[in-house]
Amino acid sequence: MTALDTLRGKYIEAIASAADEAALEEVRLAALGKKGEISLKMRELGQMSPEERQTTGAALNRLRDEIDASLRARKQGLADAALDARLKTEWLDVTLPGRPRRAGTIHPVSQVMAELTAIFADMGFAVAEGPQVESDWFNFDALNIPPEHPARQEHDTFFMARAEGDNRPPHVLRTHTSPVQIRAMQAQGAPIRVIAPGRVYRMDMDQTHTPMFHQVEGLAIDRDISMANLKWVLEEFCRAFFEVPSVELRFRASHFPFTEPSAEVDIRCSWEGGQLRIGEGDSWLEILGSGMVHPKVLAAAGVNPDEWQGFAFGMGIDRIAMLKYGIPDLRAFFESDLRWLRHYGFAALDMPDLAGGLSR
């Protein structure tokens, strides 16, 4: 038996008898470490003749590889044995139900915005968007709002700060999404059918008003559109949104600078038992403003009022969310406690899609 055979037997036996990974590491260092026996013998090759080096070097390489493979196999065996021992001492009932995790909930305003977008999409309305910081012209002048109108005063509107000597036109935080209608008509011309949902800003704060809220405005322009078309669109929307078989709307004459004629729209309802019910009862509830687009507004948007006409309407998204889900205070929309949302029945991430179903 050669010296290498003796060395092999010694370390193979030591590897097999190593009781744990610490003992196995000691064997590895004794054999293959920098000062290990096999490593030292590899260094002696430089002192041998070419013939001896060729024979002994090949044998040492085979021995080193065999010892290394045995170390790896033994290490894996020890790990498997440790896992088996752990599994025998620990017990897990995989039939137990998982721990519940609270799911995130979509905000009522976001849900209502998605609902109304889907409803109007079924009637052929596209969604138009525009900037929230608007020029004085888009927010007021193009909509036939005169300079003396109260909405153009600083106590009603947020005006952007201007440095001394800044001669640019005044800019405001938009007070409605009507400027989006002007931009849409300028970009697309007529005919056109769009809704413009989004944030708007006014200097107001009480139980039913906040300085920042959400509106959706609708616009339909064609050659023969009338108030009858407006009435049908609003009835179809209310029936679908409030999920009732029928609705009755009442149009009351009103005045808006951007429509002529103009009408406030009320919906028949009841307050039986303190609960709002849409589509029944003897009461009326105002829900939106509407009318036929003023010829000056069409002209400002580059649409010839002698050839085209149409209707427009606008409603508060926060308001109709309150009505549909029975939320009494608009300021509650800004509470961060999800328990409040669950109280009003908002399931986790129930989102209507344009096909009329729900997606999660």
Binding residues for Mg(2+): 260
| 3-state SS, residue 98 | coil
- Paired strand residues for 312: 219, 291
Cα–Cα nearest to 174, from 146, 210, 208, 138 = 138
Give the separation between CA 126 and CA 43, rounded to whole angstroms: 81
Cα–Cα nearest to 197, from 177, 213, 183, 211 = 177
Find how far residue 320's CA is from the centre of its chain: 21
Give the separation between CA 330 and CA 200, rounded to whole angstroms: 15
Listing DSSP states for 25-88 in one string gives HHHHHHHHSTT-HHHHHHHGGGGS-HHHHHHHHHHHHHHHHHHHHHHHHHHHHHHHHHHHHHHH
Q: Which residues of 6-30 are buried (b: 16+ CB within 10 A; e: fewer)?
A: ebbeebbebbeebeeeeebeebbee
Give the separation between CA 249 and CA 252, rounded to whole angstroms: 10
Q: Exposure of 304 by Cβ count < 10 A (0-12 exposed, 13-18 middle, 19+ buried)?
A: exposed
Question: Strands 358-359 and 351-352, how do they pair?
Answer: antiparallel
Find how far residue 337's CA is from the centre of its chain: 18
User: How is residue 191 written in tokens?
Assistant: 């005919």
Element (H, E) at 315: strand 309-316
Q: How many residues does the chain have?
A: 360
Q: Please, are residues 66 and 54 in contact by the beta-carbon 8 Å criterion? A: no
Task: Say how many Å lie between the first and final Cα of the chain, rounded.
Answer: 74
Point out the annotated binding site. 260
